[in-house]
Amino acid sequence: MGEGGECLRDDLFGEDVEGVIDRILDSASVLSVAETLRSQFDGELARRIATLRELRIRAKRRFGVDAPPFLTANGLEQATHPRLASRRSDEIHSQIGQSRIWDATCGIGVDGRALARGGSQVVLGDLDPETLSFATENLRRDGHRGWAVRADARSRAVRADVVLLDPDRRVAGRRSLDPEAWSPTLSESLEIAARFDGACLKLAPGLDPLLLPDLPTDWVSVDGSLTEVTVWAGNLAVRDANLRRVLALKSDGTEVRFEGRPTTIDAWEPEDAANVTWLAVPDPGLLRSDLLATLAEQQGLRPLAPQLAWLGGTHPPTSPLLRGHPVLGSAPLDRKKVRALLGEHDVGAVTVLKRGHPDLAEVLARRFRGPGSKPGLLAVGRLERGHRAWLIGPAAV
């Protein structure tokens, strides 16, 4: 498939297939679905339609109504959330306007759709022919023409203004945090980026910040889950590289951002940590970007312990990147003492949040169930000496 080539036609793209999927999409009966498909399509196509139906159901649960219609299992697992793709498209277009963009590792084309909606000419690239065909059809169904190139991202097959790269982080079927084991590697990705006026690299959210290049970098979460690290290069690198940025995309459509430089802050002494009146749970982007202490200092809060990523203080946090809970009381993590604390507040069954404890939260919830009648929320964390439990109320809105 060459540059400017049309998407390879696939039997899955037929109107008759689409009509059948629409009818069986919400069917609860696996047997009914199988019978419907076998009666209208040959065995291999029926199997592929059944797989596509299941993937669409999963994609709708994960992405909502904006999920692309044609999916592969690997493509869905690795796909960018449509809200993040849309936000990235807005940022690119705000800097350089409508351009020719090579989505060099396009997957099922979520980013490509967002960029095309922004008015750019999108060239889709991937090595897998089915994935590339699906991505191109997804653009076509969205009302946009997609140019498709079956090529390695390291090739010089495409001329464009901007390149978008998402290296494959799987090594022997498992995800790797070694950027020089990726395909393309991080160093190769930076070499590719340097050939274009602008570049955007989508990297693993758990990557050590010390391994990142000296370029403007975002740590992005969607609905409280850290999704990716975004690195900007060329004419998209428009801010101070020393200013790290956390972006949190919320389910209500809002976006929260925080910029700063990493700093340090002293944790509470154990006796003070035991008596905080507010406990704050941070957005995961603050942890991976090393900006938790920076925001804590601005908020007048401190970590509950040196290695404990919860903040505490005497007042509720005001940043939407911190989920603040009022503290009703605390006790050392001793079954008798915790049950006594819960009994004081008529708490029975508990949901457990934990940091630094080897046991599963569900195991701790059974172990520390209180004698009362009300449900409760218990935060269990490791201090410098032993563990402690804080009985906390619902997050303040």
Bridge-based pairing of strands 121-126 and 147-150 is: parallel
Task: Provide CATH 3.30.2130 ranges for the chain.
Answer: 270-392
How many helices (H) and strands (E) are present in the chain, helices listed first?
13, 18
pLDDT in tens, 24-39: 887 767 788 888 888 8
98-133 as b/e, with b when 16 or more CB fall inside 10 Å?
Answer: ebbbbbbbbbbbbbbbbbbbbebbbbbbbeeeebbb
Residues of the chain with CATH 3.40.50.150: 76-260
CA–chain centroid gap for 164, Å, is 17
For 169-174, the CB contacts below 8 A with 24+ separation are 169/204
pLDDT at position 29: 77
Per-residue model confidence (pLDDT) at position 138:
96
Amino acid of residue 80: T
Superfamily of domain 76-260: Vaccinia Virus protein VP39 (3.40.50.150)
Distance between CA atoms of residues 394 and 224, nearest Å: 16
> Cα 301–307–313 angle (5° rounding)?
20
Please give the structure tokens belonging to residue 248: 């949190």
Beta-carbon count within 10 A of 184 CB: 19
CA–CA distances in Å: residue 301 to residues 280, 294, 319: 9, 10, 11
Angle separating helix axes 129-141 and 110-117, nearest 10 degrees: 30
- Fold annotation for 270-392: VC0802-like (3.30.2130)
Q: What pLDDT score does 396 carry?
A: 81
Residue for token digits 């059944």?
A: 50
pLDDT string in tens for the chain (397-residue length): 444 444 456 788 988 888 888 888 877 677 888 888 888 888 888 889 889 999 999 999 999 889 999 999 999 999 999 999 999 999 999 999 999 999 999 999 999 999 999 999 999 999 999 999 999 999 999 999 889 999 999 998 899 999 999 999 988 888 898 999 999 999 999 999 999 999 999 999 999 999 999 999 999 999 999 999 999 999 999 999 999 999 999 988 899 999 999 999 999 999 999 999 999 999 999 999 999 999 999 999 999 999 999 999 999 999 999 999 999 999 999 999 999 999 999 999 999 999 999 999 999 999 999 999 999 999 999 998 899 999 999 998 6
CA 275 from centroid of its chain's CA atoms: 34
Per-residue pLDDT, 3:
42
**CA 283 from centroid of its chain's CA atoms:** 12
